[in-house]
Amino acid sequence: MIHTAEEAILWKKLATLFFWSGIVTTILSFIVNPLFLLGSVLLFGAWRYAGRMAYQWGTGFEGEYYVIEALSHSERIKGILLSDIVLPGRRANIDHVLICEQGIFAIETKAYTGIYFVSGDAWYSETPSGRHEIRSISKIAKRNAAVLSRFLWKNLGENYFVKPLVVFAGAGIVEGRSTIPVLYPNEIETYVLSLPIELSHEDITRLENLLEGYSRHVMVINL
């Protein structure tokens, strides 16, 4: 199971536990000792925090799921989609790595809602109170691509160029121009197929054999 899904399920279970524990301690504060009310306050605070975490992890999984779903219906891309990759020595994951005839793609997915504006590598959230800068999603994708490229060089001795992509999988709207492609899930296939062929079937298999052990989910696409 993809890590984001596991975390969402865990935090949802914790939220449920904290909520009912808070109910029980509230009842005990009336029939046993008022000091139980302090425990109720702490448990309901933990319940709210766990609920926020469950929502955040669930949103992350939603974005990754939409990419998997979109590529599972592709009839023309030939390759491998590896999801939730954690390379040695790194704590942060790469949401997806697509290895196909058109090359290697490091995909950063977001299931944001709302309106966002991008100028180069600067990202902003549009709110009623104005435009607020947020963490650069394109920089995350480019950093992941660079890390993966170095890993492939170290282990295979070849200089593979890894293409960074951002995929907006939620209801969010992106305006402006980024330094790298920003796509919606239904645009991935068209974009990938517009590029020239770079990898052979043997290349794809070789790369898959190296990376599949670091991935939580592997999907074969038309091979």
Report pTM.
0.78
The H-assigned helical ranges of the chain are 3-31, 36-72, 137-156, 188-193, 201-211
The residue ranges of every structural domain in the chain are 1-72, 77-223
On average, the pLDDT of the chain sits at 86
pLDDT at 11: 63
Whole-angstrom Cα distance, residue 1 to residue 8?
11
The first and second tokens of residue 156, run together, are 């295979």
Q: Which residue has the higher pLDDT, 65 or 16?
A: 16
Q: Which residue has the higher pLDDT, 7 or 98?
A: 98
The first and second tokens of residue 77, run together, are 């891309």
Whole-angstrom Cα distance, residue 19 to residue 40?
9
pLDDT digits (tens, 9 = 90+) for 58-74: 555 666 777 888 888 88
CB 195 within 8 A of CB 61: no
pLDDT digits (tens, 9 = 90+) for 73-98: 888 999 999 998 999 988 888 999 99
* Res 30 pLDDT > 90: no
DSSP for residue 124: E
pLDDT at 89: 87
